[in-house]
Amino acid sequence: MNKRIRASLGFLAKAATFVVIVSFVVYAPNASACSCDYLAYGFLGPYTSRLPANAVGIPWYVSTKAAHFRGEANWFVADESRFILEVLSEDQFVSIPLRIDVAQEFTTPVDTYMIYHIRPKDGGLKPGSTYRVSDQLEPERYGETYGDREVVVEIDHEPLSADTPLTIHIGMAKVGGFHVAASASCSEWLRVSHAKIAARLPGEFRKWEDQLLFRTIVDGEPWQVRRYLCSLVEPGRGWDGVAHDRIFAACEEPSFTPISPVITPGRHSVMIEARLPGTDIALQTEKRFVNLECSAR
């Protein structure tokens, strides 16, 4: 199958430095204000991906925070007329009728996303089939659609079971400085103790990671941090992308109002969950503990 030129450069998780440019952020180290003007919607995952046999549809999401900011703009409406669904038949894609199932909420500490599920009108996704779905709505401004406007998804014969093991890996804690989202100046520098964390599915199930919604839980509460107030983050993605996140504790009292959660140094519990969109399947890692201690300057 030939690859096509992407319609955009992807979300923050795919190209963090690009987001700072395209999200229309006005940022400087001593800036007194932050202006956000962006659209946050798109297909979950990369241009090509796979789904298990029990997936209900191909996920497409909308940020309710961005939708509220932009009012009743039709770019946030999951209308069937804006999409084209095709199935691969004898080496070519053939258009078929589609339907969009009722949206599912996915909430994070900084946003709430509506996840829609696009599927054939006459039934569900068929194992062994390959689908292509395209968003036909032109962006409001050139370059304003950050996710792919077309995706190709292959449906596997194997389902994702609720008892599939999910393991967590925690890196060594280190002390350093991070830019974190701030309410007034968009981003501020903060000295922190931080550790990388990652969730791992067994090898034969990792092919579905791009279509799962991951969530980090710290001390029993959902965790999501952003580098900038206007950062565009796909739902179910961490600081370092799919199934990879970063937790940190502030080593000093912030002189600004952080948007993301801030925890104090010490011992903290960490776990990660992974959900198959549109279903009640939620995998969870065991609870682990990490010591985030701040060394002397």
Express each pLDDT in 62-72 by its tens digit. 888 766 666 55
Q: How far apart are CA 93 and CA 85, in angstroms?
A: 9
Q: Can you give the pLDDT at residue 47?
A: 93
Q: How far apart are CA 251 and CA 121, in angstroms?
A: 54
For the segment 228-256, the average pLDDT, to the nearest whole number, is: 86
- Residue 209: φ, ψ to 5°: -55, -40
Q: Report which of 55, 66, 116 is spatially closest to residue 230, judged by C-alpha positions.
A: 66
The domains located in the chain, with CATH, are: 37-155 (2.60.40), 167-292 (2.60.40)
pLDDT at 146 over 60: no
pLDDT at 250 over 50: yes
Dihedral of the alpha carbons of 265, 269, 270, 274, in degrees to the nearest 10: -150
